[in-house]
Amino acid sequence: MVQFFNIAISIYLLVCTVSSKTINVDIARKQHPTVKQASESAHDRATSIRIKGSRLAAGDALPTFSLLNAQFSYYMPISLGTPMQNFSVVVDTGSSVLWVPDQTCGNVCVRAPDSFKSEKSSTFKQDKSTNLQAYYGSGSAHGIMGVDTLSLNGGAFKIQKQEFGLATTQSQVTNNGVDGIFGFGPDPLSIYSNTRRSTIKSLLTNLIEQNKGYSYVFGVKFEPVPSGYYSSMNGKMAIGGLPDPKWYQGDIQWIPRIKTSRAAEFWGVGVDSINVNDKPVIKRLSAIVDTGTTLIIVSNEIADAVYGSIPDAKIDPSSDLWSIPCSAVGTLPNISFVMDGKNFNLTPSQYILPKYLNTYWGARNPDLCLSFIYSTDMSYSGYDILLGQKFLENYVSIYDGDKDRIGLALNAQLSKTQSTKAKPTDSSSNSKKKGQHKLV
């Protein structure tokens, strides 16, 4: 359920440290999407989740893995098989199956750097009772299912008999140089990804069954890009227990998962209200916490209520995003999402695109500043909001399948984040050239 674009992605492995408790890998965020790509991605992401239901019937040794935000998604390295075959896959809390290209996919899996060669793995076994059938916005993947050893952090941690898909055909998923998708949604969501409509055991479920001291808990940290920069090293993931307290400030605020609608299949939560300057403008909502979404996506009804409280807010026709005169940004209100009685606040600098990035994103009017809160039709979806990366950059998210809850804690915004200074860009440059800026 991640939107993909024809931009090659290069992953830069920068630092790898090993200790007796965890393995930490720092890998780099490449760049922001253009404004057109961000809005199209948001629309397709929301549409993908909406139509799926109708279209398809902590231990001490907590492993920590790093992620890459490249354009619209965060990536992590994994290995499959014996001996190990290496892949780079999108981390997606909005889906629940792992898949990589099969060697027979060939040119159909365009730009995929790697493919799985089953005959070279002594531990691979095909599951002939079902096939891969996964849909992701405007993309999809079809093929076979099998089981094999899943290795993380270069083989330092192994999961035996992990079920995963091998794509023999795909559309628009591997186009930016990714090998596949690693779904971290709840296990029941996996029924939409295989023809047997059976629940596939996730990495977390297998982790608990095969090892002592772990729990069905994982945490994700995204880091905001510092002012004056367009990219930064800024993703981490903790699997099997609570993340390092150094990732966040204060206490984790826990929110129960929704269980009364189709959104219960996802990492969904109830939203008491959305407040503008501490005043509720709309109440009784639902949201999905989704690492596979770039923007914060809300229904048109929510957008009308929120932006109706902000003078001169309007949709920018060139981008399809809401905009505010840049001269008024300093007077904008805070926008808060109230969940389970707890207030999760966004300041103007957290929901408005910095003016220096307007040209980089491809915005046409230099006097209008764009909002990360995007609106689209959410009818018949079972939810009202997708809390994507632009929300999660500010709050570390923890997903607790044991207690059916999601935790949010204020991001510590570590000072050690490495960044790439923004460079002037020619507004006539195409997105492919922008995607080739090198990290230093």
Alpha helices in 30-129 (DSSP H): 35-55
The yes-or-no answer on residue 290 being catalytic is yes
CB 351 within 8 A of CB 335: yes
Provide the phi-psi class of 335: left if phi over 0, else alpha when psi is between -120 and 50, else beta. beta
CA angle 224, 45, 85 (to 5 degrees): 75
Cβ distance 84 to 153 under 8 Å?
no
Tell me the C-alpha distance between 192 and 101, whole Å: 19
Q: Pick from 221, 246, 245: which is nearest to 234 by CA?
A: 221
Q: Is 377 among the catalytic positions?
A: no
Amino acid at 331: T
The length of the chain is: 440
- Pick from 65, 35, 72: nearest CA to 365: 35
Q: Which one is catalytic: 92, 102, 127, 400? A: 92
Residue 307: enclosing H or E segment and its boundaries?
A: helix 300-307
CB 388 within 8 A of CB 297: yes
12 φ/ψ angles, rounded to the nearest 5 degrees: -110, 105
Choosing from 44, 127, 187, 290, the catalytic residue is: 290
The candidate with the shortest Cα–Cα distance to 1, out of 93, 137, 97, is 137
198 within 8 A of 236, measured Cβ to Cβ: no
**Closest-CA residue to 386 (of 272, 292, 256, 296):** 296
Catalytic (active-site) positions: 92, 290
